[in-house]
Structure 1
Amino acid sequence: MTHQAPAEKWSVRLLAPGDRLREWWSGLSRVQKWGFGVGGFGLLALTPLFPPPFFDTPGISFGGTMAQFAMVAIIAIGLNVVVGQAGLLDLGYVGFYAVGAYTVALLTSPDSPWNQVGPGGMFDDKWAWLACVPLAMAATALAGLILGIPTLRLRGDYLAIVTLGFGEIIRLLADNLSNVTNGSRGLNKVAYPRVGEGEHLRDGVFSSGNSSGHANYGTWWFWLGLILMVGILLLVGNLERSRAGRAWVAIREDEDAAEVMGVNTFRFKLWAFVIGAAIGGLSGALYAGQVQYVAPPTFNIINSMLFLCAVVLGGQGNKLGVIFGAFIIVYLPNRLLGVHLLGINLGDLKYLFFGLALVVLMIFRPQGLFPVRQQLLTYGKRARDLLRSADDEKAAV
């Protein structure tokens, strides 16, 4: 009779529901997964209009909280491509987030010398933000390419230090290039989608003037972010089932073995870096339009650690798991905002809570709350069906 180690025993007891949920999901057919996915995201889209009492955030608009969640979830999906899929430890992902935000701000803010909105500019005021989104993604993809070519031959801690330096360099450049970025004062009045303009909402539903009711500007930004999130999930899901996805898994598990087997590890790592950077730039563009103000302090190393925390909490390599991790990262501080215990505002202790959560997770669940289930990504269901039919034939004989 074998005995379980204490940590393993508590791991099974505490987190078995997460395992059961993962096993249940893996057993569904593709059509069933689509059905549950559409229904789940549909219910998620309705939460700002009908916030559940136990999920509401009394100290802040629930729609604004969900808009922030959609933005961080997109970041987590992009970072998961780099860290979870390809196994590249990126500690400076906030740099790509900053490049995307500043691309939109520099092209649309009246405080910028590169403003291209209005008479004589490239963009119409109504569609300026939408036109800048692909430019922001292209700029961050280019930044990922420029950073990745000389550095992706490094591994482990060395790569982590280089990416950490990249994130700090971007923030310091934004702070010191005052003639371009307006320095620490930031860039104000950044463009946003001009949709739904009318007598009651002169600047549209996405403007900060739409601040009343459940369908406020935060809710509209959440819906936009949710649509983009679904599109990115479909893209990343197809990549996982492609040759590139299988190469990323091989590189993550053992880069030397993958290279011996003929995988061009540098090229596929560069692909992961560029794709992850572009997704981070998209989230930066969302942030710039939603807040309509971009300044260097937002892009500090602490935020980069929080993005990585979302991936680690949810489960590296599991794109749905990292979305759950992003929700925890955003929701918990907003839920505790204004809640006092012994004279202490619990909302100010978010870093303490996340630090404790990571310590407990590393002890009992080092792969995250929803660890990825490795299987034959392309022909997994067919292989399982063949194995079941073979077992049935043996049983019949």
Structure 2
Amino acid sequence: MARLQKHQLRVPKPYIERPPAVTGILAPERFMKLVGLLLFIGAAVLPFITATPYMISILTSAMIYIVLAMGLNVVVGYAGLLDLGYIAFMAVGAYTSGILTTQFGFSMLETIPIVVLACIIAGVVIGGPTLRLRSDYLAIVTLGFGEIIRITANNLQVTGGPSGIHGIPTWSFFGWSFADGLELFGVHFGPKILFYYFVLFVGIGLAVVAVSRLGRGKLGRAWKSVRDDEDVSEAMGINGYKTKLAAYIIGAVWGGFAGTLMAGHLSAISPNSFEFLYSALVLMAVVLGGMGSTPGVIIGALFVSLAPELLREFSEWRFLIFGVLLVVAMIFRPKGIWPANAVLPFLKKRTIPEVPATEAIEVAGETDGPDIEEERR
């Protein structure tokens, strides 16, 4: 036995040395954090460069779309659940905050706990009985849920019917409101700019950081396992139903928060603001950017929200051009503009050692075969 252990086979060394990983500022994770930080600083400085009401308004809407898309990324990108009625959760959040502020005198900040509770209830009500379905069946059910919420809001008196809710106040904190403006270091910040910064720092910062950490955590790994193969993940001890329900509830809360931001931004909401088209646009942002990819979802949300505005000069042709751009993007980037497993261009420039033309292959322990056979006898 001692001789057998002495002559155990060893794994041969690889023929090609693995190229060293990129370190320093060009390391993928550090590089992406630096790019994200620079873009965040650029968005914070932008109002000092141009602060026209039109520019601030469309940028605020674009950032609210990012919050909404980050929530849908949890459902579609991480958990792999095809949701065609996600805009319904935005409607739940917008109508809950709108009713509480206009009819019961709540401030927007005070409505947040109730909005979260309403979205959790909505997520359990629709997700509880339907998340046992898969693929197309789940998509049809979620599509029906989105239409049910819109039609219900269109027929209830408390939601204002077809006219919706008007006069929704902006955000206020302990008696001070964004409508009062702010004078800081001799610079006057209007209500729209204050709300822009609020969405940038609270909405975008919270959404991006929280969803990214969720995706890298234990729950995020469970979501991805269920997405890849639910049967295998359940065989490994993961409760697929509870895991999907958790993703649906977290996505619902994110959608409701985006709805509250949208209600405060527009100061008026109606059932026409929550049609199926908007669910399709948010889903398009996730798929176009790259499912499960935080940078990709941000890029996709910005593209979907800003492209129609940038093409406004083409008048009636802008939606046709927008559709053509989407088709071109999906043809050349079928996995998304920035997929979750994307390799940065500079990583492809690593030098790989050449393979020798001829090389003697020696298996360790090959000459010891007869001795081993003799020992076994």
TM-score normalised by structure 2 residue count: 0.77
Taking the aligned partners of 1:247 and 1:374, their CA distance within structure 2 comes to 21
Distance 2:65 2:45 in 1: 19
Aligned partner of 2:194 among 211, 220, 234: 220
Structure with bigger RCO (C-alpha 8 Å, 6+ apart) = 2
Counterparts of 1:25 and 1:304, CA distance in 2 = 38
The equivalent of 2:291 in structure 1 is 316
Aligned equivalents of 2:48, 2:281: Cα separation in 1: 28
Aligned AA (1:192): T
Select which of 270, 275, 285 maps to 1:300.
275
- Partner of residue 174, structure 1: 153
Post-superposition CA distance 1:207-230 (Å, at most 9, x none): xxxxxx995443322211112211
Contact 2:170 2:178 in 1 (8 A): no
Q: For the aligned residues, what is the CA RMSD?
A: 2.8
Aligned to 2:3: none
Equivalents in 2 of 1:25, 1:355: separation in Å?
37
The percent identity for this pair of structures is 40
Per the alignment, residue 16 of structure 1 pairs with none
Determine the C-alpha separation between the residues in 1 that align with 2:35 and 2:191: 28
Distance in 2, Cα, partners of 1:316 & 1:29 = 18
Q: Does 1:92 align with 2:76?
A: no
- Amino acid aligned to 1:315: G
8 Å Cα contact 1:194/1:205 also seen in 2:
no
Q: Following TM superposition, by how much is the alpha carbon of 1:24 offset from its aligned partner in structure 2, in angstroms? A: 11
Task: Determine which of 137, 148, 164 is the counterpart of 1:186.
Answer: 164
Return the alpha-carbon distance in structure 1 between the equivalents of residues 241 and 124 of structure 2.
12
| Alpha-carbon distance in 1 for matches of 2:122, 2:205 | 25
In 2, are the aligned partners of 1:76 and 1:307 still within 8 Å (CA)? yes
- Work out which of the residue numbers 44, 48, 71 in structure 2 matches 1:78: 71
Q: The residue matched to 1:190 in structure 2 has which SS?
A: coil
Question: Could you tell me which amino acid in structure 1 is paired with residue 334 of structure 2?
Answer: P
Structure 1 regions of 5+ residues with no counterpart? 1-22, 110-114, 118-122, 207-212, 376-397
Partner of 1:50: 49
| Residue of structure 2 equivalent to 1:102 | 95
Moved over 4 A (4+): 23-26, 32-36, 195-198, 213-216
Q: CA deviation at 1:262?
A: 1.7
User: Rg bigger for which structure?
Assistant: 2
Corresponding residue to 1:152 among 131, 136, 152: 131
Q: Is the 8 A contact 1:313 1:369 kept in 2?
A: yes
Question: Could you list the runs of 5+ residues in structure 2 that have no partner in the other structure?
Answer: 1-22, 344-377
Name the counterpart of 1:364. Answer: 332
The structural deviation recorded for 1:247 is 0.9
With the length of structure 1 as denominator, give the TM-score of the two structures: 0.73
Q: Is the 8 A contact 1:49 1:215 kept in 2?
A: no
Instruction: State the aligned residue count.
Output: 316
Match of 1:40 in 2: 39
| Deviation of 1:29 (Å) | 5.2
Distance (whole Å) between structure 1 residues aligned to residue 39 and residue 297 of structure 2: 16
Return closer, same or farther for 1:353/1:218 CA change in 2, 3 Å cut-off. Answer: farther
Change (3 A) 1:95 1:169: same
Name the CA shift for 1:219/1:336 in 2 (closer, same or farther; >3 Å).
Answer: farther
What secondary structure sits across from 2:48 in the alignment?
Answer: coil
